Amino acid sequence: MSGEPRVRYQAGEDGIGEIVLVRPEKRNAIDARTIEELFGALAAAEVDENARVILLRGEGKDFCAGMDIGHLEATLSYSHEQLVADAGAFGELFLRMRRTPKPIVAAVHGNALAGGAGLASACDLVLAADDAHFGYPEVHLGFVPAIVMNMLIRNVAEKQAFELVALGDRIDAAEAMRLGLVNRVFSRHTFADDVRAYCVELARRPASSIAFSKALLYEVGELGFSEGVARGVEVNALARETEECRAGIRAFLQRKQRSAE
């Protein structure tokens, strides 16, 4: 079993490249090798010309149950420096996901807990089945969702974030959407088809526009107002220089002209 992959990349079809967590016997729990393979899958998706959207999902009953307890147990004897390096790999994964120009969509079914909830919220969009559950139960182990806190606080209000991590309770998909962790909730019975249709529609949008929007959205969140406006001006100009934008403007004007005739 140790030699089997944790992650599989499925090449783009209908504009969608799929990154699949394939450790269902461990509820897709994350260990060092899973993180390494996720880096590899992201790299494959980036160079896949047929993938305009990256879909992240899990096989089996759950999306991802969080960090592998066995892996955490193995690190109990680590030095402080080793623990920092181990945790740092997970943090670097979140940064890598943000820097990937293609939109990443999480399809969450079953449980997305602890690091699994963080992995979902690190995606640009989150779709959930109506029977999915999210939670940050680290407090019950005397642990802290330290790395995923960066994602949580960017999705929900401060007091709601603290309640989630202080109580460690699970919330259902409807509540997760109300709080801002989830974009859409679909029926569990049609979830796969609904997710596919959503991603196909997203893949139809101009790739350059999506890439600029993603980069600017996250960059502006870390800038002051004046710096954010200045960066927006720069990206506005860059976007208008792309052939996709120029073609879109010409097509719009042609449609307007035909309707006026």
Please write the tens of the pLDDT for every residue from 125-146. Answer: 999 999 999 999 999 988 889 8
Considering the domain architecture, whether residues 133 and 215 belong to the same structural domain is answered as no
Residues 79 and 175 in one domain: yes
Tens-place pLDDT, residues 66-101:
999 888 888 888 899 998 988 899 999 999 999 999
Same-domain check for residues 219 and 246: yes
Question: Is residue 18 assigned to a domain?
Answer: yes
Within this chain, do residues 47 and 140 fall inside the same structural domain, yes or no?
Answer: yes
Q: How many domains does the chain have?
A: 2
Asked whether residue 183 falls in the same domain as residue 151, the answer is yes
User: What ranges in the chain are assigned the alpha helix state H?
Assistant: 32-47, 69-74, 80-99, 115-121, 149-152, 158-167, 173-179, 191-203, 207-220, 225-240, 243-260
Q: From the candidates 4, 59, 138, 222, give the one annotated as an active-site residue.
A: 138
CA-based angle 70:73:74, to the nearest 5?
90
Q: What pLDDT score was predicted for residue 241?
A: 82
Q: Are residues 165 and 223 in the same domain?
A: no
CA-to-CA separations, 104 to 7, 54, 96, 107, 259, in angstroms, rounded: 15, 5, 11, 10, 37
Q: Which domain holds residue 126?
A: 7-203
Question: 196 lies in a domain?
Answer: yes
Per-residue pLDDT band for 2 (boundaries 50, 70, 90) equals low
* Residue at 86: amino acid letter: D
- Token pair 């969009």 in the structure block, residue: 125
Establish whether 163 is a catalytic residue. no
Q: Per residue in 162-186, pLDDT tens?
A: 999 999 999 999 999 999 999 999 9
- Cα–Cα distance between 161 and 164 in angstroms, integer? 5
Q: Do the beta carbons of residue 48 and residue 101 sit within 8 Å?
A: no
Is residue 2 included in any domain, yes or no? no
Indicate if 17 and 34 belong to the same structural domain: yes
CA-CA-CA-CA torsion for 247, 251, 252, 255, nearest 10 degrees? 180
- Among 156, 174, 203, where does a domain finish? 203
In a domain, 1, yes or no: no
